[in-house]
Structure 1
């Protein structure tokens, strides 16, 4: 079996396609959460803390290089405000994924708990019919 045909078989199985769809939806969901945190959650916190924009919170390690009144190279800095926003993004996404997985697992447990209707083989069906016919004759 060639590598190309193995890859084709692997890709068509369905798991890869499901994974690709999940990644696309995850990226879109990440963008929504980022906007939620950056545009809706953090501005009120910044206002409460005295009009602070969290993306501007940083510890400046070195001065920027300035020539002719223009910044040519930014100075090195530790951007802890941006890091705080990324942590909040992560926590919201993690909570949403946890809730989704928990609900899916709950549905699976309900499915597994439901009694399965036994399927009879052809022989069992035939024997049941014979039994019923013999009961009817007696």
Structure 2
């Protein structure tokens, strides 16, 4: 069983998947920071200083100045501001993945292109001795 597990882990697909998951987690941190620290502050400024993280609907009876205060008090809330941030994260990630896939597809086309060019390229000229024999043949035909 240990041998089978070692073979399973050593397969390229499993290693590629692990690398993809690790890179995805790192990329998620970058995107979260981009949204939270770069994109949302200007949007909040345009909307009059509103912090989307603090946009929520309190389902209880208390009044809380922020989502953190409501969460600490144990109040039931609908956190639509957090949802807006998550949607923006998703849009940014999907755009980044689109450009990544587009670049990979472009590289694949470039790598496959030389083979297609080889198939269409004209065949190389015959060796010199064959060319001379063809010339002799053609001269003999014209004399006859």
Q: Is contact 1:11–1:17 with CA below 8 Å preserved after alignment?
A: yes
What residue in structure 2 maps to residue 9 of structure 1? 7
Moved over 6 A (4+): none
Secondary structure of the 1:100 match is helix
Deviation of the 1:19 alpha carbon:
1.4
Q: 1:1-138 residue pairs with structure 2 within 5 A?
A: 3-63=1-61, 73-115=73-115
Deviation of the 1:29 alpha carbon:
0.9
Q: Is contact 1:63–1:74 with CA below 8 Å preserved after alignment?
A: no
Larger Rg: 2
- Unpaired segments of 5 or more residues in structure 1? 65-69, 119-131
TM-score, normalization by structure 2 = 0.70
> What value does the CA root-mean-square deviation take over the aligned residues?
2.5
More strand by share: 1
How many residue pairs match? The answer is 115
Secondary structure of the 2:48 match is coil
Q: Is contact 1:59–1:78 with CA below 8 Å preserved after alignment?
A: yes
Measured in 1, the distance between the counterparts of 2:41 and 2:74 equals: 25
